[in-house]
Amino acid sequence: MDVKVGTFNVLNLARPGERYYPDEAPYSAAEYEKKATWIAGQLALMRADVVGFQEVFHEEALRDVCSRSGQFPDGTVVAPGADGASGPRLGLASRLPTEPVTAITDFPAGMDVAVDGLALPVGTFSRPVLRTRVVLDPAEGTTATVFVVHLKSKRPIRDPQAPEHDPREEALGKARALIRRAAEAAALRFLVLEEVTGNAQPAIVLGDLNDGARAVTTDIIMGDSPSRFWPRDPDDRKAYWDRLLYSAYELTVRRTGRDVSYTHIFNGHYDNLDHILVTQEFYERNPQRIADVVDLRYFNDHLFDSQLSNDRRDRIASDHAQIVAEIRLR
């Protein structure tokens, strides 16, 4: 039995006629129709059983595009808190049975401990994380905990009083953004550990992490793996395996021996910012695994390099690729 899970940054999905950012004009009826049609078409191509969404401003709009896609006729489609006034939120669509979806805003306890005078100066997620349990195999009762996430982007957090092109303020702004993204990554790591440590509960993270597969912030979420000879105690090594996450990107590129993937292009840089991470229950080298990640598909034909093209991006298509991991239950 195969299950497909995906992640989709929809780029500011909002109802027509309603302003979603102060400096952005609302979508006209015609623009919204084009955008909804495009998103529904991508969902039809993805054919995923579970999809995590980023940048949803109105739950009603998410329900509309999912309905148009025909992929979730009797499933769950939610975007908690996406009321238009609360900024971009996360959403989830599933044709598989799910538990109630919860939104997590506050960081877990223990995040504010200071060491050497340093403590993380952030206490909340900029976009509340979604958590649910999805039934992967109703016949066997196999479930997986699913987290939908969208970490802080690399866009600088600037002092509005500073000159617009001040290089010192640009450096500080990027550092502020990194601090928030790193804090959110650590908080997400805490949530994952609460879910998977000391048990056989599978977990999947779907989302826009706004960094590469081996960036420090992504590494924080995934955790440290034991090396060949460390720790020496087998029980300690098992404890490490139990709390690790694995990148579907790395699992599949290792198998194919090539890498032609990217989910975002900015200023000539091709990056993988969108990720699907899984626990050891889906890791092909684990003899006790319940499933294998057998394929990872990238839907990025709509992306173009502005350094090589005179085309100008509109607001219809997303500026991110969609990715879908195919998981084969054993």
Q: What is the pLDDT of residues 259-314, one digit of tens each?
A: 668 899 888 888 899 999 999 999 999 999 999 999 999 999 999 888 887 777 78
Asked whether 273 and 211 are in contact (CB, 8 A), the reply is yes
pLDDT of res. 268:
82
The model's pTM is 0.94
pLDDT of res. 260:
65
Burial group, residue 106, by CB count within 10 angstroms (0-12, 13-18, 19+): exposed
Sign for the CA dihedral angle at 27, 30, 31, 36 comes to positive
> pLDDT category, 255, cuts 50, 70, 90?
low
Instruction: Kindly state the percentage of the chain with pLDDT values over 70.
Output: 98
pLDDT of res. 257:
59
pLDDT of res. 254:
65
> pLDDT category, 74, cuts 50, 70, 90?
very high
Task: Please tell me the distance from the alpha carbon of residue 237 to that of residue 266, in angstroms, as a whole number.
Answer: 40
pLDDT of res. 231:
78
| Other beta carbons less than 10 A from residue 16's beta carbon | 16
- Is residue 59 scored above 70 in pLDDT? yes
- Is residue 230 scored above 90 in pLDDT? no
For the chain, the average pLDDT equals 93
Among the residues of the chain, which ranges form H helices?
29-46, 59-69, 167-196, 216-222, 234-242, 248-256
Residue with the bigger pLDDT between 164 and 104: it is 104
> pLDDT category, 237, cuts 50, 70, 90?
confident
> pLDDT category, 236, cuts 50, 70, 90?
confident
Tallying the residues shown for the chain, one arrives at 330
What DSSP character marks residue 280? G
pLDDT of res. 316:
96
Burial group, residue 153, by CB count within 10 angstroms (0-12, 13-18, 19+): middle
pLDDT of res. 165:
87
pLDDT tens readout for residues 114-161: 899 888 889 999 999 999 999 999 888 999 999 999 999 999 999 998
Token digits for 328?
């084969």
Task: Please tell me the distance from the alpha carbon of residue 226 to that of residue 25, in angstroms, as a whole number.
Answer: 51
In the chain, where do the E strands start and end? 2-13, 50-56, 76-78, 89-94, 102-106, 124-137, 142-150, 203-208, 246-247, 264-266, 269-271, 274-278, 291-299, 322-329
> pLDDT category, 256, cuts 50, 70, 90?
low
Average pLDDT over residues 228-256: 80
The domains found in the chain, sorted by start residue, are 2-329 (3.60.10.10)
